[in-house]
Amino acid sequence: MGVTGVAVRHGGDRIAQALQAHGVPCIYTLCGGHISPILSAAKARGIRIVDVRDEATAVFAADAAARLSGRPGVAAVTAGPGISNTITALKNAQLAQSPLVLLGGAAPTALQGRGALQDIDQRPLVEPHVKRFLKMRRVRELGPAVSEAFALAQSGVPGPVFIECPVDLLYDEASIRQWYADAGGKGQALADRALRWYLNRHVARMFDGSTDTAPAAVRPVDAPRATDASLRAAAAALARAAKPLAVIGSQAVVQAEQADALAEAVSRLGIPVYLSGMARGLLGRSHPLQMRHQRRTALREADCVLLAGVPCDFRLDYGKHVRRSATLVAANRSARDARLNRRPDVAAIGDAGAFLQALAQQPQARDPSRRTGWLDTLRARDEARESEIDVQAAVAGEFVNPIALLRALEQEAGENATFIADGGDFVATASYVLHPRRPLAWLDPGAFGTLGVGAGFALGAATTRPEREVWIVFGDGACGFGLAEFDSFVRHGIPVIAVVGNDAGWTQIAREQVKMLHDDVATVLARTAYHEVAAGFGAEGLLVKRMDEVAGALQRARELARQGRPVLVNVWLDKTEFREGSLSM
């Protein structure tokens, strides 16, 4: 009997039973004959099945669900093209260190490599992008594989894990035995009899030990902890510092349930801080310690820099943003990331969020009294930049000023809003103008920087945190990747609000390309009626061309979403110079 007293029916149900034991609320999927038993059994066990229009969406959704819940998200896709369609989303999750479990179909065990439908060697395709490729050969392995995948996905540096589930392991034993018997035919030649003998033995092996249907065990996963020595060294470095600065990134909030405690700890530390990725919003809408602008200048001035879950990659100019003479403390689950491009003075290898919490317990680490001058300098600079942005927001043009639009969105969005960023210039501007209201209220792709995360992330967010408003901030280019998911939003009653910054182009690329090569080739789009596309899928579509229509449209969008309707607001933007000088590579 299963965990809820329901008898385990077949291999697909073993997986469903294990998912249920792990408290999985939702599977994101696009169907295929290879995985039908998993979906049907999961549905029967009360797991919500959210079916989408592209497998990438399913994996992006599982990624978002993981980031917001702190537990692996689950997607299921069919063999061959179902799996190959997920590669970008899998890679994105891997680089974002997001724990998810991908269940992939596969050709029947006896037919692999023999030209079956959609049969390709899936391991070399998937293995580079996951922590582990678990290949199933026996029915009895299915439940334990789910337990293993969940533990692996969350342990150490989190990431995706793949379970390959051949279709003949998923159906009930009687049907599969019959199927193999039919395949064996009735011929009496030696070769026919040998084939039957081989297939019989094969089936016996597949089902060997499958009478044991005990539910899969849930393995506890402890967050890795940095050493006490690194903690003391970091505390001492902070105590000595006159101009300490912290940069806190996504990895610090992988233990989602710890986010509020972490926010409290960061407040107590009293160090000025920049938040990036999933850590944005950690300190709420505005906090005296949080800076948003001029990070590079601040990093050059700081005499002690604490990087919590942030590698010295392109975002810190490979470590060059941090002054040579500064004491560098790197807290990271990954020893490689902690040392990337620059050796820290203190490498605290372990969960960055837990490290910050432990650091805040060290009395010598927090002594804000000496540092008010430093804090005031940073604050003043931050405010000066805000005033500049005010000036840029006030520039009137033919259509809508993007900064003014985002300021209006900042006003209109509810206190429980989650923002999802998918695009180039427009969302980069949004990352300065929008203030995520709370921990885990901002989602962007992460280091892989792929366009096209928006619809999937929104699905994951809306199904994981249904009580919150979900706003997708889309570039017009980016919105094209997942536009068909308005169909999924409508069918599943998922009321997301998409705001499309329509500048009729792939502007982040055009900006550099035109300057360097005097050619806008392939960067030009039209003022496409994306709102009508959404309406065609049965959602609400609003068009905004003038600034004086913005507030009303955003308000209307929010009302419609409250009534359960997905909405797309297509806003015609003016070009601005806001992003001039920023890189697009």
Ligand X SMILES: Cc1ncc(C[n+]2csc(CCOP(=O)(O)OP(=O)(O)O)c2C)c(N)n1
- Tell me which stretch binds ligand X (CB under 6 A): 66-74, 96-104, 237-245, 499-507: 499-507
**Rounded CA separation 459/439 (Å):** 19
Among 60, 426, 442, 530, which residue sits at the site for ligand X (rule: CB under 6 A)? 426
Asked if residue 442 binds ligand X (CB under 6 A), the reply is no
The answer to whether 98 and 63 have CB atoms below 8 angstroms apart is yes
Q: With respect to Mg ion, which residue has the nearer C-beta, 212 or 398?
A: 398
Residues 464-483 that bind ligand X (CB under 6 A): 475-478
280 HSE (CA, 13 A, CB side): 20
| In the complex, least distance from residue 454 CB atom to Mg ion, rounded to whole angstroms | 13
**Looking at the DSSP assignment, which residues form a beta bridge with residue 50?**
28
Two tokens, residue 50: 């959210």
CA torsion angle 6 8 14 17 (round to 10): 10
Best CA proximity match to 333, nearest among 154, 66, 567, 496: 154
Based on the shown chain and the rule CB under 6 A, indicate whether residue 454 belongs to the binding site for ligand X: no
13, 337, 469, 503: residue in contact with Mg ion (rule CB under 5 A): 503
Contact, 418 vs 497, CB < 8 A?
Answer: no
Number of H helices, E strands in the chain: 23, 17
* Nearer to ligand X (CB atom), residue 102 or residue 453: 453
Three-state DSSP at 332 gives: strand
Contacts of 393 (CB under 8 A, 6+ apart): 401, 403, 404, 407
Residue 449's binding partner among ligand X, Mg ion, none (Cβ under 5 to 8 angstroms by kind) is ligand X
With CB under 6 A as the contact rule, the residue among 281, 501, 541, 566 that binds ligand X is 501
456 makes contact, choosing from ligand X, Mg ion, none, with CB < 5 to 8 Å by partner type, with none
> Could you tell which of ligand X, Mg ion, none binds residue 249, using a CB distance below 5 to 8 A set by kind?
none
Size of the site for ligand X (CB under 6 A): 19
Confirm or reject binding of residue 449 to ligand X (CB under 6 A).
Answer: yes
- On whether the CB atoms of residues 558 and 414 are closer than 8 A, the answer is yes
User: What are the Cα distances from residue 215, in Å, to 1, 56, 140, 150, 585?
Assistant: 8, 30, 11, 14, 49
Least distance to Mg ion, CB of residue 571, Å: 11
Residue 168's binding partner among ligand X, Mg ion, none (Cβ under 5 to 8 angstroms by kind) is: none
Q: Is residue 314 close enough to count as binding ligand X by CB under 6 A? A: no
Please report whether residue 423 would count as binding ligand X according to CB under 6 A. Answer: yes
Q: Which stretch binds Mg ion (CB under 5 A): 9-17, 300-308, 309-317, 470-478?
A: 470-478
Characterize 245-269 residue by residue with b for buried, 16 or more Cβ atoms within 10 angstroms of its Cβ, and e for exposed. bbbbbbbbbbbbebbebbbebbbbb
For residue 76, state whether it binds ligand X (rule: CB under 6 A).
Answer: no
Of 55, 63, 412, 425, the one binding ligand X (CB under 6 A) is 425
Q: Which is nearer to Mg ion, 63 or 503 (CB)?
A: 503
Smaller CB separation from ligand X, 148 or 422: 422
436 binds, among ligand X, Mg ion, none (CB under 5 to 8 A by kind): none
* Residue 156 CA: distances (Å) to CA of 163, 223, 226, 255, 257: 19, 7, 12, 12, 17
Which residue in the shown chain puts its C-beta closest to ligand X?
Answer: 475
Closer to Mg ion by Cβ: residue 171 or 419: 419
Quote the CA–CA distance of 76 and 102 in Å, as a whole number: 6
DSSP 213: -
Instruction: Note the residues at the interface with ligand X (CB under 6 A).
Output: 423-426, 449-452, 475-478, 501, 503, 505-509
- Which residues lie near Mg ion (CB under 5 A)? 475-477, 503, 507
